[in-house]
A = this chain, B = another copy of it.
Amino acid sequence: MTEMRTLKVALLGCGNVGAQVARILIEDADALAARAGARLQLSGIAVRNVNAPRDVDLPQDLFTTDAETLVKDADLVIELMGGIEPARTLILSALQNGACVVTGNKALLAQDGPTLYEEADRAGVQLSYEAAVAGAIPILRPIRDSLSGDRITRVLGIVNGTTNFILDQMDTTGAQFADALAEAQRLGYAEADPTADVEGHDAAAKAAILASLSFHTRFALENVHCEGISNVSAADIAAAKDAGFVIKLLAIAEKLTDVDGKEGVSVRVHPTLLPREHPLAAVRGAFNAVFIEAENAGELMFYGQGAGGTPTASAVMGDLVSAARRLVLGGPQRTETTTGHVPALPIEAATTSYYIGLDVADQPGVLARIAQLFAEHGVSIEIMRQTIHRDAESNVESAELRIVTHRASEAALAATVQAVKGLDVINSVTSVLRVEGV
C-alpha cells in the first residue's frame, strides 16, 4: 500500500452531535481512511470550556478554546457549535483558508446562507450541510445530485421530531397540546423552552434549505411563512381523525402559479391535514420523512431518524468523507447551482385545500346558505358533511359542519371565513386548517 496522505480535521463544538463525530473519527479511523483515501486526523476540538462533562470519553489534549488557531491549520472543518456567531466568522475564515466545511447549522444557513455559499464558490471548496435537515436521512445530496436531471415540483417534509412526537401523541391518546408537550419534555423529545420547535422556527429554517436546493434558487428565512402547532387542539385532531385525516406539521416548498399567473415557489410551515393513507401519515413518534414529487421520478419518500447525536453524526461523517475523497482526487469541489431564479411567493398567493369546522344552527337551509357564500367567494367545496348533536338535558339540537375545499388562495379563504362568521346561523368557526395530499 502506498503512503497515505493525512488530512487535518478541526471540530468546532462538542455537544450531542460533536462528541459522537469525535468518537467515530477516533474509533473508525482505519475504515474511514480506506474510504476517503486519506487519514482523517482529528487535530483538535474547540469548546467554550475544556473541562465541561462530555457524552463520550475523549482525549483531554484534543480540547482547546482557541477555535481561530485550530481552523487556520485544518484541511477540513466541522462546525457543530450552532448559533450565528462565532460560527459564521469561523466558517468564513475556514473557507477563505481553502478548507472544506461541514456544518449542521440550519439557523445560520437559513439566515446567512448566501454569504457562505458565495465564499465557498470563490474559494473552490465545498460547504456541505446534510446534517442540517432531517438528521441522519440522506436528503440534500439526493436532491442536489440524484434529482439534478429532473424537475422537482413539490417537497413535503416532516422535519421536526419534537412536533411530530407531540402531534402523534395527541392523535394516539386524545391528549391536549399542553399535556402532549409535557410528555415530550419528560421523555427528552422537547426542550425546556420548546418555542423554536413548537412555533415552527426550526422547521422553517429547514424549509428554506430544502426549497433552495429543490428549486435552484436561494430562499431565506424571510421567504418562509411559518405557523406552529401550539393552537392545534385535541378537538381539531379528533375531527381530523374522524374525517380520515391526520395532522402533521409540514415544511412545504412547491411550485405554484399565483392568481395573476406568475410562477413562483411557495415555502411555508404549518399544521396540515393529510389523508391517513398518505405515506407521510405513517411517520410516527420523533421520526422524520421527506416526500418529494418530481416530474419524471414521480413520488419519492426518504425516512429515518431526524435528530439525536449518533444519527446526526452519520450525516456529518458522510459529508466529511465525501469532501475528503475529492481533496484526495484533486480538482475543485462541487458547488451548488442557483440558476433557477424562481421568485418566492408570499403566503397570500399560495393555494391549498382547506378543512373548515363550523358549529352551526340546526335549521333548514343552512347548508345552502353556506355553500352559496363559498361560491360567491370563488372557493369550491369538495366535501361537506353535517353531523347533528342533541343535548340530552336541554333537548337543544346543534349541528357540526365539516368542509374540505378544493385549492383556494389564502386571501379568498380568509374572506370566505370572515363572511361565514357574519352569518346569524353560525355559532362558531371551530377550526381552519390546510390540507395536503388529497
Query: Which single member of B137, B138, B142, B329 contacts A331 (CB below 8 Å)?
Result: B329
Q: Is there contact, CB below 8 Å, between A329 and B332?
A: yes
Q: Tell me if A296 and B136 are in contact (CB < 8 A).
A: yes
Known contacts A35-B337, A311-B298, A315-B297: A146-B151 contact under CB 8 Å: no
Say whether B296 contacts A20, CB under 8 Å.
yes
Q: Residue A141 at the B interface, CB < 8 A?
A: yes
List of B residues within 8 angstroms of A301 by Cβ: 301-304
Cα(A209)–Cα(B224), bound, Å? 41
Chain B positions within 8 Å of A137 at CB level? 300
Q: Are A315 and B34 in contact (CB under 8 A)?
A: no
Q: How far is the CB of A26 from chain B (nearest CB, A)?
A: 13
Q: Given A297-B311, A332-B330, A145 and B150 touching (CB < 8 A)?
A: no
Q: Which residues in chain A, 198-236, are within 8 Å of chain B measured between CB atoms?
A: 216
Complex interface residues of chain A between 26 and 51 (CB less than 8 A to chain B): 28, 31-32, 34-37
Which residue of B has the minimal Cβ distance to A102?
Answer: B149
Beta-carbon contact of B305 and A147 below 8 Å: no
Q: Tell me the smallest distance from the CB of A348 to a CB of chain B, in Å.
A: 28
Q: Shortest distance in angstroms between A172's beta carbon and chain B's nearest beta carbon?
A: 14
Among residues of B, the one whose C-beta sits closest to the C-beta of A300 is B304
Q: Report yes or no: A298 in contact with B303, Cβ–Cβ below 8 A.
A: no
Residues of A in contact with B (beta carbons under 8 Å apart): 20, 24, 28, 31-32, 34-37, 130, 136-138, 141-142, 145-151, 216, 279, 282, 294, 296-305, 308, 310-311, 313-322, 325-326, 329-332, 334, 337, 339-340
Q: A28-B151, A148-B322, A149-B318 are in contact. List 17 more A-B contacts (CB 8 A).
A: A24-B149, A34-B340, A35-B148, A35-B216, A37-B337, A138-B300, A145-B318, A146-B318, A146-B322, A148-B317, A148-B318, A149-B321, A150-B317, A296-B317, A300-B303, A329-B331, A331-B331
Could you list 26 A-B pairs, sorted by A, with CB under 8 Å? A35-B216, A35-B337, A130-B146, A136-B296, A142-B146, A145-B318, A146-B315, A146-B318, A148-B318, A148-B321, A149-B316, A149-B320, A150-B318, A279-B303, A296-B310, A296-B313, A296-B317, A297-B311, A298-B310, A298-B311, A299-B304, A300-B303, A301-B301, A302-B302, A330-B331, A331-B332
